[in-house]
Amino acid sequence: MLDLSQLREDIKTEAARLGFNHIGFAPSSPVPHYQDYLAWVEAGFHAEMAYLARQDTLEKRGDPSLILEGCQSIICLAVSYNQPETTLRAALPGEGRISSYARTQDYHEQIMDMLKQLESFIHSRVGSESQLKSYVDTGPVLERAFASQAGLGAVGKNNCLIIPGKGSYLFLAEILTNLPLPPDQPFTSDLCKNCQRCIEACPTACIQPDHTIDASRCISYLTIENKNTIPDNLKDKIGHWLFGCDVCQMVCPHNARPSKETPSVGTPVLPEFLELTQLFSLSESSFKEKFNKTPLTRPKRTGLLRNAAIVLGNQKGDHALPIMENVLKNESDPVILDACGWAVNQIKQNNSANQDLRDD
């Protein structure tokens, strides 16, 4: 007879050995906050991420047994990553900032390898009785809702999972299983209460009052998932962010003290700030070689050059003007041309304004 309580403890021990910092267990049904998710999609807050609203994925998010037949439990896991090294100071002229999570090699591969090892461990204990399906931020699973249901923490107003005493610099993962593992008690405390810091600090006002995000205004979406031009009314809100954004986490009181947990996703391979003008000399092949196996390949060369041009436009530095004008002459991609044209106008308008002040 399989002792599920003992198996649960063995899984926790092995997960910790593999480098997972937190683990909890939740029943697969009912799916927590599913109706809230449907309302979020209906409001169009998923922006151009059509995969979030496809009928098949909507159904799977509401019923994990459509992903794994006979699914009964969700093993929820979290891995800490390094917090930003510097404050919210503006980048130096000519530099763009990278979100802290993106400075290591791609976390998907690293954590999936850990999950596969944990799967093998479970199979070794249970044998053919166990059916398992793992995801790292890629499957149709409401992972933050399940993580809270599994007792890990609460979803903050900025839509990040917050673990008391540990903060929110976390990667989430889960294993769906047909094993009826004893669940943890759901986390029910409100960790945000009357705090408004993330809402007030968000440069684009993308944080909604119901613990959700309007992705179409979020800097992380605009600079990573968005494959098109960035709207003119949001370009200046991008500030110095070349890739992603950490503002809402950096101002969160739960991240005020550096976590003492050891990240399991490796040491940084990219600096916090990248020199921007050099990016425009990268060919498609050199771009892939420079950022190979890092998250910066996700927006592709087009997206990263778009972002770099917008940051340079926000900084209004004269040194970038000839580079942007050269790009306008030699590039054909409309997304890059839009961003560079905007940047050139910003720099010239700034120069004109400064000249008027000198003339006065």
Please calculate the CA angle 125-127-132 and round it to the nearest 5 degrees.
90
- 7 φ, ψ to 5°? -60, -40
Contact (Cβ atoms closer than 8 angstroms) between residue 164 and residue 191: yes
User: Nearest 10 degrees: CA dihedral of 303, 305, 309, 314?
Assistant: 60
CA 237 centroid distance within chain: 18
Residue 114 has what pLDDT?
97
- Residue 63 designated active-site: no
Query: E strands along the chain, which residues?
Result: 22-27, 73-80, 95-98, 132-135, 154-155, 161-162, 170-177, 241-243, 273-275
State the DSSP string of 147-160: HHHTTS-EE-TTS-
3-state secondary structure 168-204: CCEEEEEEEECCCCCCCCCCCCCCCCCCCHHHHHCCC
pLDDT along the chain (360 residues), means of 10: 93 97 98 97 96 97 98 98 88 94 94 97 91 95 98 97 96 98 97 96 94 96 98 97 98 90 87 96 95 96 98 95 95 97 96 69
Domains of the chain by residue range: 4-83+105-177, 197-359
Q: Which residues, other chains included, contact 226 with Cβ-Cβ below 8 Å and sequence gap of 6+? A: 47, 48, 299, 303
Select which of 10, 36, 63, 137 is catalytic. 137
Contact (Cβ atoms closer than 8 angstroms) between residue 105 and residue 293: yes
Taking Cα atoms as reference points, which of 170, 168, 169, 141 lies closest to residue 75? 141
